[in-house]
Structure 1
Amino acid sequence: MQYYSSYAEILTGVMGIAVGISSVIGIVFYIFSSIGLYTIAKRRGIPSAGWAWVPLGNLWILGSIADQYDLVAKNAKKKQRHLLLWLCVSMIVLVLAMIPTLVSFIIGAARHSFDSSNADALIGTVLIMLICYIGLLALAVISAVFTYIAYYKLYKSCSPDNAVLFLVLSIFFSFLTPFFVFACRNKDEGLHAPVPPQYPPYGMPQPPYYGNGAPQA
């Protein structure tokens, strides 16, 4: 009995240390990401830049940075900030809606109250949970896609030459994303309006054009 008690204490201690280390690492990642988003938003005049430090608010700031890039670089008005925010809110609401059903199922199973007389209730509960899970999974996938699109636009606005590389690494090694955002916080290399093509004034001679090649002077 003493052996099992010592083993349980060791296991509890190891789990506590692991949780503590994971929490510290998570906080560090969050701080780097928040500093990066806040600095970019503050420098570019995005309203309420302080939301970068708040859960859910950081998605709004990320979407705002992406929307600003679309407006400046592509002259297109997007509302990705709204999309990111409401996708996340929808997932939270769905999870909260699943909790009562899950608790009811666990309590019923613990009391062995499911038998042939109420099998329909068991099947109904399982189906509801399955539908909610599929919906949650679909929302998570959609949210991830649009989040990475927003990150790509952020990278594109800060460092166009490295945008694709940063995006690929962010997808496969997500723990690098906060550091990429932090590294880009003071850059605006891709945030400029497209330059319209310059043509000679009307009446001036045009350079000759040779086949499919570039115009030759």
Structure 2
Amino acid sequence: MLPFALQAVSECPAHADLALALGAEFEPLAVDDARAEIEALAASISPLRHAVPAQQLAGCAAAVAERYASVEEPQRIARDCVLDDLLLHRVLAHGHGHRLPLTVIAVEAGRRAGIPLGVVGAGREQYLAHAGLADPHVADLGRDGAIVDLAGREQSVGWQCAHQVAALLLNRIAARAERIGHMTWALQAAELRLALPAGPETRERMERDVERVRARLN
């Protein structure tokens, strides 16, 4: 597996590859076990390869929801499990996680099964979408794979690449780590964000955040 820093500057890494590399920055992980888990899911949805896009989206979302439980954002976080629902390899191993890594799992399983799925979102809301669907129907892995109609939303929803999803994961990791006073993890997440592509204003904001967290750590 390529390190996070190398994948972060590559043009188009797979969502799962970058998410696994992100996890490896925080702790050692068994990449082969994680990939085998995704491969098993891909095999289970492969019969959907010849279905119409709407059936593929619903079927893949249902398969993920059946295999992995979605957990809500915790109000109280224990220090030893602050990252459990955000790091992809832990979600694959434990069978439950935040909607964002669950969506990444679905996208990667779909890719391996020949089903063109992706992540769409706006702000803090992310969904599973199908590249072959013109209508605004998506699956919400935070609601057991329920199909959601996004028509009429005020905020536009767009496709999110692996870099954008990694940034969202790092945002959550940094916020949680800082919330419980684990400033080493908070700084690590803030520094990892700097490896990702970003515009000048965003990069300047991220650099200020690194300095702020570093000051708290010292």
TM-score of the alignment, normalized to the shorter chain, above 0.5: no
TM-score, normalising length from structure 1?
0.28
Q: Which has the higher helix share?
A: 1
TM-score (norm 2): 0.28
The structure with the larger Rg is 1
Structure whose residues are more often strand by fraction = 2
